[in-house]
Amino acid sequence: MGKLMYRSAVHFSDRARFDAATLVSRPAVLCLFGLSFSVVLFARCPAMILHPEFWAEDGVIWYADAYTAGRYSLFFPQNGYLQTISRLVALAAQGFPLRWAPSLFLAAALIIETLTATFLVSTRMSTAWPSTSGRVLFAFIYVALPNSFETYLNLTNAQWHLAILAFLVLVSRPANSRLGKAWDLGVLALSGLSGPYCMFLLPIAIWQLSDDPAAAELQRAVIVAICCGIQGSFLITTIGDSRSAAALGAGAGTLARIVVVQILLGGLLGMRVTSRIIHAALFNSDDAVITIALAGLLLCIVALWRGPPVLQKAALFAGLVLLAALWRPQVSSMMLQWSVMTVPGAGQRYFLIPILLWIGMVMALAADPNRSLRYLGSMFVLLLFGGIAADWSYLRLPPTDFREKAQEFALAPPGTRIEFASHPAGFSPMVLIKQTP
């Protein structure tokens, strides 16, 4: 009996006796799920939410550009492409006191992550993943994900979560209402203009269109294609000057170490446990690390071969994201970039989507009819729960004097130049010059 209950929780086809899909379709229930996801995110680091700070480009780029250039900042590329969601929030924040800006940025990131998890639970996803219980479990794993501190509730990296939401919209059942259709196209357009992800989503849109040549699928594909054209034009003209010039330091052993440390182990056991494991003698040998990576790849192939089409589409999306990240990463301006990416926690944003794919494959194996694969997948799921526990809480970053500086800036005469410290440590400060009201 226990085995059947467990399988129903992770299987891609719902065998539960109760009508969970009907329950989840109710707006009030979806709102409760959204609230639950927000509570999980809050519980991971209450201090960070109660006392927010700017993270990375939040202040030094998004807010500073919006304050200086206003709406024209929407057309400023960053790292080779437009990042519209960050700039829109920064523009909206201009209507409020500066001291509120970090809270507004965090609220936007919280909304995006919560909406992504809630959409996964909704019945719109039932055609791609029929198991309501499986989607609910995965949604809670998503907001409790190990090895994900860098993408936790900050506007700069909200684009990654928005890309995940766009993928879910593409593989979901087309909306029937005008509001639902507007939501779909809005999410795809906003995500497409908030990073390079439209390039990786276009094959998914075309795949969906080939499966179902309906008007709704065509509209989605057209929106993604238009975003590709816009972002592609910026990438062609600016990427050479906007990315780190540091050498990659590419190699088979280094690649295997990245995959093992950041995805296979980091995604299941979390950063804290993985940081200890990699000091074992086993990890001194490239051959051993390559063997582990190949074993993980073999498991992924088995999961894809036996899994549902949505898992294959997710693999294509995640694979393209990972290839792009390895080709032009932005993790160091001087050191060999691939070597930096072997360090637990380094460049976590690049591995968010591959980690979610890996967990999806583990869940597929845990629900496989083959007993051996099911036991193997179940063991990995148990390890994942351990990793969630180990990486559950995030330490609050050291507070800065932002609020004091913001108050000083509010009272300063025009022309006053003030620097604001930013996180993470060593990141350039935000510089604002007071303008005439």
- Any residues with CB less than 8 A from the CB of 262 and at least 6 apart, and which? 147, 341, 342, 344, 347, 348, 350, 351, 354, 355
Q: How far is CA 102 from CA 2, 159, 176, in A?
A: 46, 17, 37
User: What is the pLDDT, as a whole number, of residue 25?
Assistant: 64
Whole-model pTM? 0.92
User: What is the pLDDT, as a whole number, of residue 6?
Assistant: 39
User: What is the pLDDT, as a whole number, of residue 1?
Assistant: 38
User: What is the pLDDT, as a whole number, of residue 3?
Assistant: 41
Q: How would you write 142-194 as a 3-class SS string?
A: HHCCCCCHHHCCCCCCHHHHHHHHHHHHHHCCCCCCHHHHHHHHHHHHHHHCC
Look up tokens 């010039």; give the residue: 245
Rounded CA separation 162/138 (Å): 17
Q: Are 132 and 19 contacting, i.e. CB atoms less than 8 angstroms apart?
A: no
User: What is the pLDDT, as a whole number, of residue 23?
Assistant: 57
User: What is the pLDDT, as a whole number, of residue 20?
Assistant: 57
Per-residue tokens: 326: 């390895």
Q: Are 410 and 427 contacting, i.e. CB atoms less than 8 angstroms apart?
A: no
3-class DSSP assignment, residue 432: strand
Average pLDDT per consecutive 10 residues, the chain (437 residues; last block may be shorter): 42 48 72 96 93 93 96 93 97 96 97 97 93 94 96 95 98 92 96 96 96 92 97 83 76 95 96 93 91 96 93 97 92 87 93 97 94 95 96 88 94 94 88 90
User: What is the pLDDT, as a whole number, of residue 22?
Assistant: 58
User: What is the pLDDT, as a whole number, of residue 427?
Assistant: 86
